[in-house]
Amino acid sequence: MCGICGALTLDPHADTRGFGPTVRDMLAAMAHRGPNGGEILARGRAVMGANRLAIRGLGDTHPPLIEDDSGIIVSCNGEIDNHRELRSWLEQRGHVIDRSTDVAVIPALYREQGLAFVESLQGVFALAIWDPRQQWLILARDRAGERHLYYTIADGVIRYASELAALNANSRHIPQLDADALAGYLGSGFCPAPQSPFVGQYKLRPAELVIIDRNGVTQRRYWQCPLGRTRQVAPRREQFDTVFRNAVFRQSDIDVDYGVLLSGGIDSALITAVARSVRPHTPLTAYCIRFSENSFDEGEPAARIARQLGCAFVPVLVAAQDLPATLSDLIETTGELLADPAWIPLALVTRRAAQDV
């Protein structure tokens, strides 16, 4: 994943000379998110930064992106999986998009559709747009909330970042714990958005669009999961198969090697099988977490699935002596409260996978 951050003010008389060093410190605080480089871009009263993990458009310049004619700046953490369809539609409408990265469609899409642009995006993302024409900052988070984004406003300065550690880098304010957020954590195992563990530091809700301008902060939900009672419809296997295959095909349409996390369960087995089916000539490695406790271990059925599908198989054994150091690293890099023990073995298996893909 990438990391994005920024600092800006809506006060035309404010002194912004310190914004550059501040954003550099913010980038440094989440350097682990950007193995392919980090850059900042300063225009007027806005300084925006991004650490890049290159997935698509490997030869493109480092983000953030700027449209020269409009001055719009975009930075995004995540992937826009329908970028090819959006690119084709935008080019038919006269837009010239000269970068191959998926994020490059966002400025033109925003100019074409306004604030409704986010409804057209498919994928996982947290993004920021500075529009000097409107003098507003737009923050948005994907529908399921898979990518986090935090922001705060203090002394007339707006700061945002992918991680709380970056949000508080080089800050003159010592954050105070939010008692209500902590109560939410104790009840649910995490701090429910829009709260974070700290007073005055907010987390975007899933499917939320936040606009910050001279009039204050406006929050909009651009999508809502239908939770009410619906008419029963007989399931159609063919429809699910089409949607499922399209999702796997789009997400694997990238410019780097990739792998899968495989257990003995039906969900990861299905994803692995479809990934092999939609891209049969692409090498695929399956990574599986293993435990010494047999009641937790799914290594054997996962290995059988990998052999049947023709995937390379890499087991990763969780050793008790690895857990304290892993937990300490996770606390330092995550910065959020999360009562989910699964994130420890997940960190171990993804670290091993990162050596190959």
Give me the pLDDT at residue 170, please.
Answer: 85
Would the pLDDT of 56 be above 80?
yes
Stronger pLDDT, 258 or 171, i.e. the higher one: 258
Give me the pLDDT at residue 230, please.
Answer: 63
Among residues 347, 349, 352, the alpha carbon closest in space to that of 329 is found at: 347
Q: What is the mean pLDDT of residues 89-118?
A: 96
Give me the pLDDT at residue 233, please.
Answer: 64
Q: What is the mean pLDDT of residues 53-57?
A: 90
Tokens of residue 355, six digits: 């050596």
169: confidence class by pLDDT, cuts 50, 70, 90 = very high
| 3-state secondary structure string across the chain | CCEEEEEEECCCCCCCCCHHHHHHHHHHHCHHHCCCCEEEEEECCEEEEEECCCCCCCCCCCCCEECCCCCCEEEEEEEECCHHHHHHHHHHCCCCCCCCCHHHHHHHHHHHHHHHHHHHCCEEEEEEEEECCCCEEEEEECCCCCCCCEEEEECCEEEEECCHHHHCCCCCCCCCECHHHHHHHHHHCECCCCECCECCEEECCCCEEEEEECCEEEEEECCCCCCCCCCCCCCCHHHHHHHHHHHHHHHCCCCCCCEEECCCCHHHHHHHHHHHHHCCCCCCEEEEEECCCCCCCCHHHHHHHHHHHCCEEEEEECCHHHHHHHHHHHHHHHCCCECCCCHHHHHHHHHHHCCCC
Q: What is the mean pLDDT of residues 63-84?
A: 94
List pLDDT tens digits, range 128-160. Answer: 999 999 999 999 999 999 999 999 999 889 999
3-221 topology per CATH? Glutamine Phosphoribosylpyrophosphate, subunit 1, domain 1 (3.60.20)
Give me the pLDDT at residue 356, please.
Answer: 95
Would the pLDDT of 122 be above 80?
yes
Would the pLDDT of 334 be above 80?
no
235: confidence class by pLDDT, cuts 50, 70, 90 = low
The answer to whether domain 237-353 has CATH 3.30.1330.10 is no
**Gap between the Cα atoms of 265 and 144, Å rounded:** 22
Domain ranges of the chain: 3-221, 237-353
The mean pLDDT of the chain is 92
List pLDDT tens digits, range 198-233. Answer: 999 999 999 999 999 999 999 999 999 877 766 666
Q: What is the mean pLDDT of residues 236-242?
A: 83
Give me the pLDDT at residue 298, please.
Answer: 94
**Gap between the Cα atoms of 286 and 284, Å rounded:** 7
Give me the pLDDT at residue 253, please.
Answer: 95
Give me the pLDDT at residue 327, please.
Answer: 85
Torsion of CA 291, 292, 296, 297, to 10 degrees: 60
